[in-house]
């Protein structure tokens, strides 16, 4: 049986759900690779918090909406794995990084839709593809979706539709990666108060309910 610690790569882990997920994994004894798009300071605060839990953690820059940058990211990831853990693979991938979008169906622009698609679906699709050779057999993939695929709030047709695509992809990945004993699951939180794009999901829910839940959110900016 292997004695080295499990390593999880959590995208968009500098804040919100990504940060919470990363630190919960650290509490369970998992080492961390946390990615951020632009706020290195917030990512380093997650690294520091993980180290306080006696876990090893490293922050890496990644724009999940820029597919052409994935080869460079994988190269940096491999260097980090070797230098920090003396390994050439990791165990858990959490596809969390995302952006929010609020617009009525009639007002949704092509640019806004393309941005959502690039980050929430295309980026997840091709980043996961690039990482397959680095993900250990018997590993885990968790794709973050949203409860908005199961109930409707006006203004989230594009966001929820793209997240629905993630849920379909999850089924296919589970089928195709089964021979490698890699499990693939979706986590689809309901409406939660969060700082994610100003707490739009929580605020929208609050308009029709007296309280909002705390803890998970619909996503987290990278």
Residue 151: inside a domain? yes
pLDDT averaged over every residue in the chain: 86
Catalytic: which of 4, 66, 159, 172?
A: 159
CATH code, domain with 79? 3.40.50.720
211, pLDDT greater than 50: no
pLDDT in tens, 66-119: 999 999 999 999 999 999 999 999 999 999 988 877 889 889 899 999 999 999
172, pLDDT greater than 90: yes
Active site residue 159: yes
Residue 215: inside a domain? no
Residue 76: inside a domain? yes
pLDDT in tens, 21-76: 999 999 999 999 999 999 999 999 999 999 999 999 999 999 999 999 999 999 99
Residue 200: inside a domain? no
Residue 130: inside a domain? yes
3-state secondary structure the chain: CCCCCCEEEECCCCCHHHHHHHHHHHHCCCEEEEEECCCHHHHHHHHHHHHHCCCCEEEEECCCCCHHHHHHHHHHHHHHHHHHHCCCCEEEEEECECCCCCCCHHHCCHHHHHHHHHHHHHHHHHHHHHHHHHEEEEEEEEEECCHHHCCCCCCCHHHHHHHHHHHHHHHHHHHHHHHHCCEEEEECCCCECCCHHHHHHHHHHHCCCCCCECCCCCCECC
Q: How many domains does the chain have?
A: 1
> Using 50, 70 and 90 to split pLDDT, how confident is the model at 124?
very high
User: Considering the entire predicted model, what is its pTM?
Assistant: 0.85
Residue 203: inside a domain? no
Can you tell me the mean pLDDT for 210-220?
29
Range of the domain at 131: 7-190
Residue 196: inside a domain? no
Residue 205: inside a domain? no
193, pLDDT greater than 80: no
Can you tell me the mean pLDDT for 110-139?
95
């Amino acid at each position: 049986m292997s004695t080295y610690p499990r390593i999880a790569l959590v995208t968009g882990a500098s804040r919100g759900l990504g940060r919470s997920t990363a630190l919960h994994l650290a509490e369970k004894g998992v080492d961390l690779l946390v990615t951020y798009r632009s706020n290195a300071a917030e990512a380093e605060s997650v690294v520091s918090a993980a180290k306080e839990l006696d876990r090893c953690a490293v922050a890496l820059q990644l724009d999940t909406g820029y597919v052409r940058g994935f080869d460079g990211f994988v190269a940096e990831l491999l260097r980090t794995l070797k230098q920090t853990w003396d390994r050439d693979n990791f165990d858990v991938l959490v596809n969390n990084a995302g952006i929010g979008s609020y617009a009525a169906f009639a007002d949704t622009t092509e640019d806004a839709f393309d941005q959502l698609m690039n980050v929430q679906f295309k980026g997840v699709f091709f980043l996961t593809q690039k990482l397959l050779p680095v993900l250990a057999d018997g590993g885990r993939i968790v794709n973050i979706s949203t409860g908005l695929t199961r109930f409707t709030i006006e203004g989230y047709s594009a966001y929820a539709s793209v997240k629905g695509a993630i849920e379909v992809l999850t089924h296919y990945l589970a089928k195709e990666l089964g021979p490698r004993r890699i499990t693939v699951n979706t986590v689809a939180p309901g409406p939660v108060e969060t700082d994610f794009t100003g707490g739009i999901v929580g605020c929208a829910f609050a308009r029709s309910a007296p309280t909002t839940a705390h803890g998970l959110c619909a996503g987290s900016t990278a």
